[in-house]
Chain A
Amino acid sequence: MTRYILRRVWYMLLTLFIIATASFFLMKILPGSPLNAEDKLSEEQKEIILEKYGLNDPVPVQYAKYLGGLVQGDLGVSFKFDNTPVTQILVDRIGPSALLGFQALIVGSILGIFLGLMASIFRNSPIDFSSTIIAVIGTSIPSFVFAGLLQYVFAVKLGWFPVALWGTFEHTILPTIALAIHPLATAARFTRTEMVEVLHSNYIITARAKGVAESGIILKHGLRNALIPLITVLGPMAVGLMTGSMVIEQIFAIPGIGEQFVTSVMVNDYPTIMGTTLLFAFGFILIILIIDLLYGLIDPRIRLAGGSK
């Protein structure tokens, strides 16, 4: 088990290295420079700034410096935000994103699983049809359309929530709902499909033949076997949610990672862009590792060698 995790960590580092390299060279290919918008600066001043940030060095030297910093956990200094270290920016910004993402994931997956369960139990009933409609709407309507709609109805018309503000729990409600709709729809769809299949399997008939009550059939025997594919789709979705939805954060003016990422791209703030990309990648790889470990917890058949004996 320990060996397995160590190997996974090693792969993780390798992946991060590749992503860091790719994003570094992509930055170099990107047209424009961080000083594009700075019309007030003279050529000499620009030259001094470029020199200061090492942007005049040959590319291999810049790359080596960047990697060197990376190894020491230094993501560089933002070109734009008062020379704040990128690490600091990320730390400051991850909080709101993670909070929103976590809330959306919990709300979305719990409601989605519930909806999917209901649909699979009352198959071809009005409950099933409305669940399918919600699932189709949730997957096909982009979250920003939904966000706009929520703002219009609940903030503008009803005035229950602020349109876009950050601070208290109340402010998180609308963006959470907007973010939750997609995982909700996905969870509902997958839970229904899987449960319908699982409920037709032979071991469910065995359980019925034992006299297990219907609630036990669904929760004890059914749901656990239906969870595997659900985790596979919800996991990566969780990374997307936790590390911030760029669009939703823009719409609701949330000081999160996604909003930061968009702003940084606009102004060619290389270190911040690369730092954020690495953070996304790191989150993704970490979640996938957790999912792999979760699989074994849920399904003994995929428990790791040596873990089960």
Chain B
Amino acid sequence: MSKLLEVKDLKVSFNTYNGEVHAVRGVTFDLNKGETLAIVGESGSGKSVTSNAIMRLLPEPHGFIKEGQILLEGVDLAKKSMKEMQKIRGKDISMVFQDPMSSLNPTMKIGNQIMEGLMKHQNMSKTEARKTALELLTLVGIPRPDVRINQYPHQFSGGMRQRVVVAIALACNPKILIADEPTTALDVTIQAQILELMKSIQQKTDSAIIFITHDLGVVANVADRVAVMYAGKIVEIGTVDDIFYNPKHPYTWGLIGSMPTLDSNDEELFAIPGSPPNMLTPPVGDAFAARNQFALEIDTVMEPPMFKVSDTHYAATWLLHPDAPKIEPPDAVKHRMQGFAQTGTKGGGKR
């Protein structure tokens, strides 16, 4: 597989009245053609900031890329001007947002909102664009597209609106589709439909997807690889099997342990104690140390490097150092892992 996107040591900061907030502190990952990479982490871990930085949608100038490269097929997006980015957004990379209720322009017909990108990036005439828009509406599963194309967002339900948002994002056959918690604002049955839709479209168009979520159940469903983010860094990255069957980072253990399961009435729900650090003054050493029951002394002094677990699997925890004590994941987490093994992660995220 060839590398489509390489993010190298990306650092993003926000200038606020209280000082510089280090939202993303050196993120490195690759994205291959046609694959789905999930970025998971709790609120404030920097996952949305990372995706906005790739799109260069940060509220510049007070939110800015401090360091690092975002190489799209070898070209650094971090150095592009806003004018150049306008030619890339929507064409090479596009985005599906969290809240379908507010991410469509309320005073514009949805047809026009879909056609806008087509006419800009593909120099289509109005009639051509309209024809393509109709095809897109059919592709995303909106019934009676010839009627719907002339309607306004308020005439659509939440799930239907998200389908429209997906259609807008797909309009120009982007190489990369970034989905920023696309199902968070939808109810569970609709969530499943939108996920199915994105998977089936990916098979048809072969675009790569960066899927941002805090819901591990969704991850198991859609992703090929998973990056776990904490306090502005990737703490563990690997294939879905690596992360679900062989997690190495205590934070990943915490995330897996805190997933509710259907048969979880007899077991405790595992909660990660404390709250994420203040990114105004990121802690020295391992940012997760304060919440980590397995923290070592070195965690408060030095940041752990990325340790290689396998060719596909890396994790940033001192527990992987040859000199570290051998620590097994907590029982609750092990129990979950066994549960995954029985049902198979790909079979359906256990929720």
Contact = CB atoms under 8 A, between A and B. Distances in A.
Interface string A221-244: 100110000000000000000000
Contacts of A300: 106-107, 152, 154
A11 B197 CA distance: 51
Given A210-B90, A213-B86, A299 B107 contact: yes
Contact of B165 (A201, A206, A213): A206
Interface in B77-109: 82, 85-91, 94-95, 97, 99, 102-108
B120 A224 contact: no
B96 to A, nearest CB: 9
B241 interface: no
B337 interface: no
A294 interface: no
Interface in B153-176: 154-155, 165, 168-169, 171
Interface residues of A, number: 23
Interface in A107-137: none
B102 A203 contact: yes
A74 interface: no
Interface in B6-61: 55, 57
A299 B97 contact: no
Contact of A203 (B57, B87, B106, B120): B106
8 contacts: A203-B104, A206-B165, A209-B95, A210-B116, A211-B117, A211-B120, A214-B86, A224-B107
Contacts of A221: 105, 108
A299 B99 CA distance: 20
Contacts of A205: 57, 97, 103
Contacts, number: 79
Contacts of A202: 97, 99, 102-103
Interface of B: 55, 57, 82, 85-91, 94-95, 97, 99, 102-108, 116-117, 120-121, 152, 154-155, 165, 168-169, 171
A202 B97 CA distance: 8
A191 B104 CA distance: 21
Contacts of B152: 300-301
A212 B105 CA distance: 13
Contacts of A308: 155
B216 to A, nearest CB: 25
A285 B13 CA distance: 54
A206 B97 contact: yes
Contact of B106 (A209, A213, A216, A299): A299
Nearest to B168: A210
B106 A211 contact: no
A291 to B, nearest CB: 16
Contacts of B106: 203, 225, 299-301
Contacts of B103: 202-203, 205-206
B87 A211 contact: yes
Interface of A: 201-203, 205-214, 216, 220-221, 224-225, 298-301, 308
A205 B169 CA distance: 12
Nearest to B106: A301
Given A209-B95, A210-B116, A211-B85, 7 more contacts: A201-B102, A210-B117, A210-B168, A211-B121, A299-B106, A300-B152, A308-B155
A227 to B, nearest CB: 9
A209 B89 contact: yes
A225 B105 contact: yes
Nearest to A209: B95
Of B87, B106, B107, B154, most buried by chain A (CB within 10 Å of CB) is: B107
A207 B108 CA distance: 12
Contact of B107 (A208, A212, A213, A298): A298
Contact of A208 (B57, B99, B104, B168): B57
A298 to B, nearest CB: 7
Pick the 5 closest A-B CB pairs, nearest first: A211-B90, A211-B89, A210-B90, A202-B102, A300-B152
Contacts of A203: 102-106
Nearest to B101: A202
A181 to B, nearest CB: 30
B179 to A, nearest CB: 12
A61 B49 CA distance: 77
A301 B55 CA distance: 31
B120 A212 contact: yes
Nearest to B93: A209
Nearest to B165: A206
B168 A301 contact: no
Of A208, A212, A213, most buried by chain B (CB within 10 Å of CB) is: A208
Contacts of A207: 105, 116
